[in-house]
Structures are given as structure tokens and as C-alpha cells.
Amino acid sequence: MPGDLRQGRIVIVGASLAGLRAAETLREAGFTGSLTVVGDEPHPPYDRPPLSKQVLLGRVAAHATALPARRDPDADWRLGVRATGLDPIGKRVLLADGEPLPYDRLLIATGTRARPWPDQAQAALDGVLTLRTSDDAAHLAERLAAGPRRVLVIGAGFTGSEIASACRELGIEVTVAERGPAPLVGALGGTLSQLAAGLQRAHGVDLRCGVTVTALRGDGRFTGADLSDGSHLEADVCVIAMGAVRNTEWLADSGLAAGPRGLACDAGCRVFDQYGIVTDDVFVAGDVARFPHPLFEYQMLSLEHWGNAVAQAEVAAHNMVSPGPSRRPHLAVPVFWSSQFGLNIKSVGVPTFSDQVLIAQGSIAEGRLVAVYGYRGRITAAVTVNMAKWLEHYQGLIETAAPFPPGPGAADARPLVADFPVPSNVPDPRGLCHGPTVALTGHLPDRRLSVVRPAG
């Protein structure tokens, strides 16, 4: 009954981009019931992309990136409150402080957090930081402004590379340590990772690939790190940029299909339980979601992208207040961007879902290019470097499963595609110390195996 769905109690756990956009969309769609948004950070929803860019450069204050509201979501904001558990039978969210929060429908948008350094004592050294929240960014910006002699960045994914870029722009010496063969290789594969490596070195980054940091050193205060090649590096600040951890632990006892790779849902953002049975009152959106995508063999995708958080939140919210036949699937093609070392990098599709890549427009020498990725003869992704205005064309090719390699005729004074496809060389993410921000995670909702031990 559509009338009923616009009433009742909706709780959103997660007060960042996905949570805010979902709250707005619910009201937009005519939801008149009570709406509660729970967030563990004390801040109202804010934008994270500037935290690794303008904030570190000191152009924007860390706490000045509040997200503009599209409309007043007329919600009860429970900020600074952590959700600790879920009782799906009693339909209640358990909170770290206070009474459980009852709901009729629930949206989970708890996102991710920075993967911490595994050794707790070393991680606690003064000067060892992560970057995920605005408080983190404020802390790191302050350290950079103090003029450290050297910064060590562990992990050369997008966040690590952007931090290194900001350091160089500020004139700070920086070392980047990456276990994989090159920066960004986990997200973009071999060809473009070579471009990224050259770029970092050209900007004066001390880039060390194929090494691991074995220990962080210091006596209360961080002073340096040991590397697996036997060398020791002195630095004043260490940023752990080893990817993200999905905030699903609080769902461990909920019976939902929650695990380290995210919370599995169907195409309409409805959460699966641990047996792969779909629920109809629990929805998920944003970085914490794992959702099936028809363009990528219906494998479950886990994305850490701004655009996905918005699009998925809108679909989830729409479906929460719409009866079955008028529900929508979340089919958006993944898109993300990064700016580093003066370059604008944009990606559409899933570059890691590829076996070959070719440069279809521009060239590495020009520092402007479009790389197109193919998998078994069809186009699955494209990455532009300073050529973002062409991206839409390639998105169309991905959406229509167009053949790879694309036909000749690029309007950039090259009558024929000059490059030949080469292997895309996407490494096993287990060999990297940065996490890809897009991951295909197979077809199955997470299974739980129970070991029953007879008592006594």
C-alpha cells in the first residue's frame, strides 16, 4: 500500500554523503513519517574529497567542507552516537548510548574507515596518522603546516598519492612506500600505473615500490620506519594510506550478509540475510554496500566513490517509500575522479575488470590521454588523464558492451588508433598495500559457517 510506505519510522545509520542524500530523497518522494539519522562523528554531513586535496594545502579549513543540503530533510539528527548492533526481529538499532531506536524501515550507510596500522603500539606513536575524517584532515594539515622534514606515506593508492601530491606542492619532502609494483596499480592496472610512477618521481617524490614497511620507530614520537629492503627511513610524519575497512562489525550478530567486503544487497538496495534471502525492510547504500551489476557479470561490486554514494542513496530512498513495481534498480556505471600532481584523472566502468588496455586518444608523452580497458573483447572501463570531457562517450560504449578495441577515428589528429592493446596487468590486490576503490567481490552474499561443538 503506497500510502503506508510514506509514513512510519525510518532510521538511517550513517550521516555522511549517502545518509544525507537518502534523507533528502525520502522527503522529496513524499515520506512524511519520522526520520532519524544516526552518525558516529559529531559533525553534520561533510564532503570528503577536499580533505586529501584543498584542506592539506591549507586552502580550505578541514571543518569547512559541510555538504550543502538540497532541502531540509526534517530529520532528528543523532550525531556523535555510534550504532552498536541491530535486532532485525525486534526492528531496533542498538546505540552506544541510550535506548534502542525502533524502525519500520532501516537504511544502512555506515561507509568505511581508514585501515589502521596493524601494530597498535606503533600506530599510537605521535605523528602516525590516517586520513578519512575531517578531524583526521585537520590533524594532518596541522602537521604539514608545521613544516616536517619528511613525510612517509604508506600505500600508493588514490589517497596516498593525493597526500604525496599535496606534500610536494607544499615543498615538503615525501617518501611513498608501496608493496605493489607502482602507484595506483590496484585501480588502474599496469600501463597507467607506470605513468603515475613517472609523475610522482618527476615531482620529486621518493617513490619506493616493491617494499613493505616492517616497523614504525619512535619513542613516543614517530621518528622513522624500517623497510623490508633493510633500509631505514627518517621522517617526522607517517600517513597510513592502506585503504579502507568497511564498517560492518556492528552487524556481526544481525544475521545479515555483512562481512569485510561489505553488506550484500540486491539491485534495489535491499539487504540480503546470511542465507541469501532478501529482506524488505533493511536497505543499504554507499561505500558499505556490495551490489550486483549486470555490466560486470552480475558480480557484487564494492565501490568507494562519491558518485555511487549519491546515486545509490537516491535509489535506496526511492525504493524505501515505493511499492514493488515502481521500485528502481541501481545500475549506475561506476565513476570516480582524482586530482594529483596537476593532473585530473577520471575513470568510468571497472578498470580492474579487464584483460587488455589501449590508449585510444592522446598519449603518455602529452600527459593527456584516454585509456580504454577491455575484457574478453568488450569495453569495460575507460580512464582519462586531463581529457575528462571525452569520458561520456566511453561510458556509452561500456553501457552498450561495445567491442574492444574501439574503432579508429579519434578526432585528435590521429586517423588510426596508434596504440595496440597490451595486457592490462591488474595485480592481485593481496599483493598491494593500497586497496582498490572499486572491487568485484564475486556472486555470493557472504556465507557463515558455524562450527557446532557439543557441550561438555
Partner 1 sequence: MAVDSLLERITDYASRPDPYPLYAELRAAGVARQAGGGYLVGAYHDIVALLHDPRISSDPRNIAAPYRALVQPEEQISFIRLDDPAHHRLRGLAMRPFGPPHSPGRLDAMRGQIAQITEELIEGLAGRSRIDIVEDFAYPLPVTVICRLLGVPREDEPVFREWSAAIIDFADIKAGEDPAERQRAGGQALTEMGRYLVDLAERRRGHPGDDMLSAFVNEPDPAGRLTREELAATGVLLLVAGHETTVNLIANGVLTLLRHRDQLERLRREPGLLPGAVEELLRYEPPVHLRQRTPLANIEVAGTTVPKGVPLILVLAAGNRDPKRFHDPERFDPARTDNQHLGFGSGVHHCYGAPLARIEAQTALGALLPRLVGATLVQDPPPYRRGAMLRGPRHLPIEL
Q: Give the residues lining the site for partner 1 (CB under 8 A).
A: 360-362, 366, 368, 370, 389-390, 392-393, 396, 407-413, 415
Nearest distance from C-beta of residue 180 to partner 1, angstroms? 31
Nearest distance from C-beta of residue 412 to partner 1, angstroms? 4
Nearest distance from C-beta of residue 154 to partner 1, angstroms? 31
Nearest distance from C-beta of residue 392 to partner 1, angstroms? 4
Closer of 389 and 453 to partner 1 (Cβ): 389
CA nearest to 340, candidates 46, 52, 55, 48: 52
Distance CA 304, CA 281 (A): 24
Q: What is the largest CA-CA distance in the chain?
A: 79
Closer of 415 and 423 to partner 1 (Cβ): 415
CA nearest to 352, candidates 430, 428, 261: 428
Closer of 213 and 317 to partner 1 (Cβ): 317
Closer of 222 and 404 to partner 1 (Cβ): 404
Helices and strands per DSSP (H, E), number in the chain: 9, 30
Question: Would you give the distance in Å from CA 283 to the centre of its chain?
Answer: 19
Please give the grid coordinates belonging to residue 216: 614504525
| Burial (CB count <10 Å: 0-12, 13-18, 19+), residue 42 | exposed
Q: How many residues can be counted in the chain?
A: 456
Q: How far is CA 437 from CA 24, 185, 304, 349, 362, in A?
A: 26, 11, 5, 12, 25
Rg for the chain, CA atoms, rounded? 23
Nearest distance from C-beta of residue 145 to partner 1, angstroms? 23
Closer of 319 and 361 to partner 1 (Cβ): 361
Structural contact between residues 38 and 31, judged by C-beta atoms closer than 8 angstroms: no
Closer of 342 and 423 to partner 1 (Cβ): 342
Nearest distance from C-beta of residue 26 to partner 1, angstroms? 18
Structural contact between residues 5 and 29, judged by C-beta atoms closer than 8 angstroms: no
Structural contact between residues 218 and 224, judged by C-beta atoms closer than 8 angstroms: yes
Closer of 23 and 410 to partner 1 (Cβ): 410
Nearest distance from C-beta of residue 404 to partner 1, angstroms? 15
CA nearest to 311, candidates 325, 297, 291, 294: 291
Residue whose C-alpha cell reads 596487468 in the numeric block: 425
Question: Would you give the distance in Å from CA 237 to the centre of its chain?
Answer: 24
Closer of 113 and 393 to partner 1 (Cβ): 393
Closer of 146 and 411 to partner 1 (Cβ): 411
Nearest distance from C-beta of residue 393 to partner 1, angstroms? 4
Nearest distance from C-beta of residue 140 to partner 1, angstroms? 25
Between the two ends of the chain, the Cα-to-Cα distance in Å is 52
